[in-house]
A and B are shown apart, each in its own frame.
Chain A
Amino acid sequence: GENVEQHPSTLSVQEGDSAVIKCTYSDSASNYFPWYKQELGKGPQLIIDIRSNVGEKKDQRIAVTLNKTAKHFSLHITETQPEDSAVYFCAASRKSGTGRRALTFGSGTRLQVQP
């Protein structure tokens, strides 16, 4: 099955700095890579995703890059703000035998943005 590794487990940055979180995956058939943000006491919320036919995607201060050959993908947050503080999860999925996707999550990164 798929195995997703995520680093670092904790990340502290100063407000305005950039933050980078990296993930690797094991299943070369994985073709969908979402990133979720989980705030304290809430469920995870999708912030950006990328598919295997694209190498990079950007949405305002957030960008994701994908290297299919190396099987790794990264989340980049620029100009960090205190409200970016949360736990971030990467995930990977592919079509299962029934044609349905199953998400495998990384272990999470706790990001703290210091004002």
Chain B
Amino acid sequence: DTAVSQTPKYLVTQMGNDKSIKCEQNLGHDTMYWYKQDSKKFLKIMFSYNNKELIINETVPNRFSPKSPDKAHLNLHINSLELGDSAVYFCASSQERGGGGEQFFGPGTRLTVL
């Protein structure tokens, strides 16, 4: 069973388009995250939601809008895509209560903006 799943796995699109990436976790975790991994493999947190509430919002352009319809889902919508948005986007989840701290990552979505 997949713990954290993302769709699509690959996304190729033109500059200026709007696209969404979906994420679902079946671990019953309270907290979900979006990370961006650039071409140099650097991983940087973008957003974090806990029980559908935004708790971390790093310096990310407002073209990026996360949406959490329920605590098992955290989708990422990107408006007016730019070349610099090309990266691999990872969704993750963790159970904050109990103090475990471990974050479980999805397989990633490779976004290519042409």
Contact = CB atoms under 8 A, between A and B. Distances in A.
Interface of A: 32, 34, 36, 38, 41-46, 49, 87, 89, 93, 96, 98, 100-105, 107-108, 110
Contacts, number: 59
Contacts of A105: 42-44
A34 B31 contact: no
The 8 closest A-B pairs by CB, nearest first: A43-B105, A105-B43, A108-B41, A98-B55, A46-B102, A44-B105, A100-B55, A32-B101
Contacts of A100: 31, 48, 50, 55-56, 96
26 contacts: A32-B101, A34-B101, A34-B102, A34-B103, A43-B107, A43-B108, A44-B90, A46-B102, A46-B104, A49-B101, A87-B41, A89-B43, A93-B101, A96-B55, A96-B56, A98-B50, A98-B55, A100-B50, A101-B94, A101-B101, A102-B56, A103-B45, A103-B103, A108-B41, A108-B42, A108-B43
Contacts of B92: 43
Interface of B: 4, 31, 40-45, 48, 50, 55-56, 90, 92, 94, 96, 101-108
